Amino acid sequence: MKRFIVLTGCLIVFLSACGGNPGPIPTPPAAVTPTAAATDEDVHQEPVVFPTGPYDNLFPQPEGQNTVFTLTDTQQALFDAYSKNFNFDISIFKNTDPIDIAQVFIECGIEGLWEGEYNMCVNWPISKAEYRDEALADVAANDIRTRRDKANYVFPYLKDGTFVDGGNGLGYIEFNSYDSSSNYSTVYAVKAKLHLQQVNGIWMIDQTNFFEYEQ
């Protein structure tokens, strides 16, 4: 059985607490001001303020495992270049391995770099300004530290996955992951796929079919 997860908000939704209560945020970011009248040219990434203080990890480690999402040295260099000064120029990914691109994309979500996420995706159903508002609203409502813990839970083996070129500019990364019951009390190993589409020689995250569990 296959379960598809199609996300309008992509990682800001997938790496959030997903309906759970992450607990109080001692130092929340400033209130979000809607940007209904803003255009894509008006909105850009600003520094992300991480909360401090007590924090509850909602995503338990799989039994007998110590899973961690990490970047390779190559991927870290790509992330640093891409995010430097909030540049987010996707041209640096020309001729880059799709798995390296996917790893950088996940790291952008963990760090709250919504503009970095947006630029790395194709087939967006919402505008950049709308996505920015969703991203800021999520950071205001949820402890952003939860994102890294969920990435440790879902994406620790993404870097060891296999890229499958499906032809016609479409492909996916197949990798080992973990899934759980709705309350995260039961954790089990699964296969997962992250879908991409090639645009102008660059593999981009496909918003129409972002993430898929296979069971």
The pLDDT mean for the chain works out to 85
Domain assignment present for residue 47? The answer is no
Domain assignment present for residue 152? The answer is yes
Q: Is 112 helix (H, G, I), strand (E, B) or coil?
A: coil
Give mean pLDDT, residues 69-81.
98
Domain assignment present for residue 37? The answer is no
Domain assignment present for residue 158? The answer is yes
Residue 144 — φ and ψ, nearest 5°? Answer: -65, -20
User: Whole-prediction pTM value?
Assistant: 0.86
Residue 131, class by beta-carbon neighbours within 10 Å (0-12 exposed, 13-18 middle, 19+ buried)?
buried
Write out pLDDT tens, residues 152-211: 999 999 999 999 999 999 999 999 999 987 777 788 899 999 999 999 999 999 998 889
Domain assignment present for residue 141? The answer is yes
- Alpha-carbon 59 to chain mean position: 16
Domain assignment present for residue 191? The answer is yes
Structural domains in the chain (count): 1
Domain assignment present for residue 24? The answer is no
Domain assignment present for residue 159? The answer is yes
Q: Residue 155 CB: number of other CB atoms within 10 A? A: 28
pLDDT at 104 over 80: yes
Which pLDDT band, with edges at 50, 70 and 90, does 13 fall under?
low
Domain carrying residue 70: 2-17+62-214
